[in-house]
Structure formats: C-alpha cells, structure tokens
Amino acid sequence: MIDADEADDVTQDIFVRAWEKLSTFRGEAAFGTWLHRLAVNVILARRKTVGISRQRHDAREDALDEVGTRPATPDLGVDFEGAMAALPEKAKQVFVLHDMEGYTHEEIATMLDIVPGTSKSQLHHARMALRRHLG
C-alpha cells in the first residue's frame, strides 16, 4: 500500500498510533482486527499526504471520470465466491466469523453451540480448502 522507502517510517507511525489509541480498544473484536484497521487508516492518511505533496491528489469530485478502466480479464481473476461456495456450511460460518468478522473461537463456539476446539478445527479446514481452490 506504500512505497518501500516509506515503510519503516509508516511502521513506526503505526506502533506509535497503536500505543496512543490502545485505551480505545474495547475488545468487541479481535485485537488483530483492531490493529489492522488502525494500520490501514495510518497508511491511507500517509498516502493522501504523500499524494498531496507530490501534487498527485486531485480533490475534484469528477476526477475518477477521466480515468480509464483496465480491460476485463476473467481468466486471471480469483474465484473467491466459488471457493467460499465449495466450503462445508459449518467451515464457511467459522471462517466468516473468525477471519472476516474478527470473533474469537470462544465467541464463535457460543454462537454456533460448539466447543472452541471445533471452531479451530473448522477454521483450519476452511483455510486449507480455500488454499487448494485458489492456489
């Protein structure tokens, strides 16, 4: 998301911001999910600043109307929806709840009326199946 030249500075900024904002973490989602969102926000803010300083930022509302689109290449795309559809229902539920929504295995176990170990196992199986399908 950012040039390699700026990666060290941005990484440091992310850790400083995380330290400053740690008190705002409410524990409603996984810590990793919270930290990822914070990192993305710092990176996006940096990209905007860099774009403005390099005079690449265009604030006009119609700026994207002038940009061409890439020609469609369906053969090169990743069929994530197909991969998700091929998953067993329980594995799909655990994958979505854990990796996409940020719930813990204990929370998932409560929601799906299973034990946390089953949640971990289902997540592992879902990830392996997705790798096989997408790889």
What domains, with CATH codes, occur in the chain? 4-59 (1.10.1740.10), 80-134 (1.10.10.10)
**Cα 120 versus chain centre, distance:** 20
Judge whether 107 and 79 are in contact, CB under 8 Å: no
How many other C-beta atoms lie within 10 A of the C-beta of residue 100? 9
- Per-residue pLDDT of the chain in tens (135 residues, 90 and over written 9): 667 777 888 889 889 998 998 888 888 778 888 888 888 888 888 877 655 455 555 667 776 666 666 665 555 556 788 888 889 999 999 998 888 888 889 989 988 899 999 999 999 999 999 888 887
Spatial distance between the Cα atoms of 80 and 82, rounded to a whole number of angstroms:
5
Its sign, for the CA torsion 104, 106, 108, 110, is: negative
Instruction: Enter the tokens of residue 89.
Output: 């229902």
Model's pTM, two decimal places?
A: 0.45
